[in-house]
Amino acid sequence: MVQYMQYKYGKKRPAFEVKVLTVLGIDPGYAILGYGVLQTKGGHAPRALDYGVIETTAGEPFPKRLETLYLGVRQLIGLYKPDQVAFEELFFYRNVTTALQVGAGRGVALLAAQQAGLPLYEYTPMQIKLAVCGNGHADKKQIQQMVRLLLGLQTIPKPDDAADALGVAICHANTSGPAVEEYRIR
């Protein structure tokens, strides 16, 4: 929304512009990929537009599961037309096979966003906890409760992957500004 001021000679110039930013947050996975879509307007508290998960079926061939994730992310991008997409960085996994599969799921989500021409950002779990809770060592329950409070939701978003994805989006919305470029995926 832009408000205009009248100047001499009938020219109109913007007095101020309220920036609306729509962010798609993604918590990567291959069985369950969490997503959260939120919108911020010129420094106001963000509001959740949607959140949930894209689930794949156990027992399906792995390439089919990746296709499901890819198409799901493309559908979300088409539906909400986000300005930016934020991802949680992969962290430590004890099981190498699981880490590779989660990495592949993250990869197809990145590909879907890249093909849409969207700016991509990534944050570590500690950065997300710090942005959402003010404590880089917050536990899962604290994060979920803060996500609920910050977005004015009646209940904690379920499943956990959806709450985590909203946390990623909140982190990005709180971080976006001139310094956000350091988090951009290059």
The question of whether 160 is a catalytic residue gets the answer: no
50, 122, 161, 182: the catalytic one is 161
The question of whether 50 is a catalytic residue gets the answer: no
The amino acid at 178: P
Sheet architecture: strand order including 47-55? 47-55, 32-41, 20-27, 84-88, 120-123
The question of whether 164 is a catalytic residue gets the answer: no
Q: How many CB atoms lie within 10 A of CB 50?
A: 14
17, 88, 160, 182: the catalytic one is 88
17, 27, 67, 139: the catalytic one is 27
Burial of residue 164 (number of CB atoms within 10 Å: 0-12, 13-18, 19+): buried
CA R_g for the chain: 18
What residues act catalytically?
27, 88, 161
